[in-house]
Chains A and B, each alone.
Chain A
Amino acid sequence: MRGLYAVALVAAFVIAACGGGSGGGTAPSSSAAVTVNVPDTVKLAAALPLTGADSSIAKIMKDSYELFFKQLNDAGGLQVGSKKVKFDLKIEDNKGDAAASGQLYEKFITQDNVDLLLGGYNTTIVTQEVKVANRYKMPYVGGGGASSSIYVDNVWAVGILASIEKLAATQLDFIKTQQDANKLPKPLKIAVAYENSSHGKEFLKGIQDGEKAAPDRFKVVFNETFDLNGRDYTSLLNKVKDANADAYMIDARVADYITMQTQYKQLGMYHQYLTYGPRGPEKAARDALKDSSDYITAATWFDSLMPGDNVKKWLDTFKATGDSPEWYAASAWECARILTGAIQKGLTIDKQKIHDILFSTSWDGSLFPGGSIKFDKTGQANNDYVMTQNTPSGNRILIWPKDIATGTATMPVPKK
Chain B
Amino acid sequence: MRLVEALISALLVAGLYATMSYGLALIYGVMKIINLANAGVMMLAAFTTFFLWQSFGLDPLVSVLVVAPLFFVVGALIEVVFVRRVLNEKPVVSLLLLFGILLVMQAGASLFLGGDVRSVRPVYVQEVIRLGDVVIAYNRLLVFVAGVIILIGLELFLRRTFLGRAIRALAQDRDACRLAGIDVRRVSMIAFGLGTALAGAAGALLTAVFPFDPVTPYGTLQLKSFTIIVLGGLESIPGIAVAAFVLAVAENLTVTISKPQLENLVSFVLLVVVLVVMPGGLAAIIRRRRIA
Contact = CB atoms under 8 A, between A and B. Distances in A.
Contacts of B140: 266
Interface in A188-233: 224-227, 229-232
A51 B115 contact: yes
Nearest to A55: B115
B225 interface: no
A292 B126 contact: yes
Contacts of A96: 115, 215
Contacts, number: 93
Contacts of B6: 238
A260 to B, nearest CB: 10
A55 B121 contact: no
Contacts of B89: none
Given A236-B260, A255-B117, A51 B215 contact: yes
Interface residues of B, number: 39
Contacts of B139: 266
B116 A55 contact: yes
Contact of B116 (A56, A226, A230, A290): A56
Given A266-B128, A266-B139, A53 B215 contact: yes
Given A51-B114, A225-B261, A238-B5, A230 B219 contact: yes
A292 B123 CA distance: 12
Nearest to B213: A53
A226 B255 CA distance: 13
A268 interface: yes
A239 interface: yes
Interface in B254-268: 255-256, 259-261, 263
Interface residues of A, number: 35
A234 interface: yes
A186 B9 CA distance: 34
Given A51-B115, A259-B211, A267 B135 contact: yes
Interface in B216-264: 216, 218-221, 251-252, 255-256, 259-261, 263
A258 interface: yes
Interface string B105-147: 0000011001111010100011010100001011110000000
A267 B12 CA distance: 13
B121 A231 contact: no
Contacts of A49: 115
A33 interface: no
A231 B128 CA distance: 19
B233 to A, nearest CB: 26
Contacts of A234: 9
13 contacts: A51-B114, A53-B116, A225-B261, A226-B261, A231-B211, A232-B210, A234-B9, A235-B263, A238-B5, A242-B2, A255-B117, A266-B126, A292-B126
Which 3 residue pairs spanning A and B have beta carbons closest together?
A: A51-B115, A266-B137, A235-B255
Interface of A: 49-53, 55-56, 95-96, 224-227, 229-232, 234-236, 238-239, 242, 255, 258-259, 262-263, 265-268, 288, 290, 292
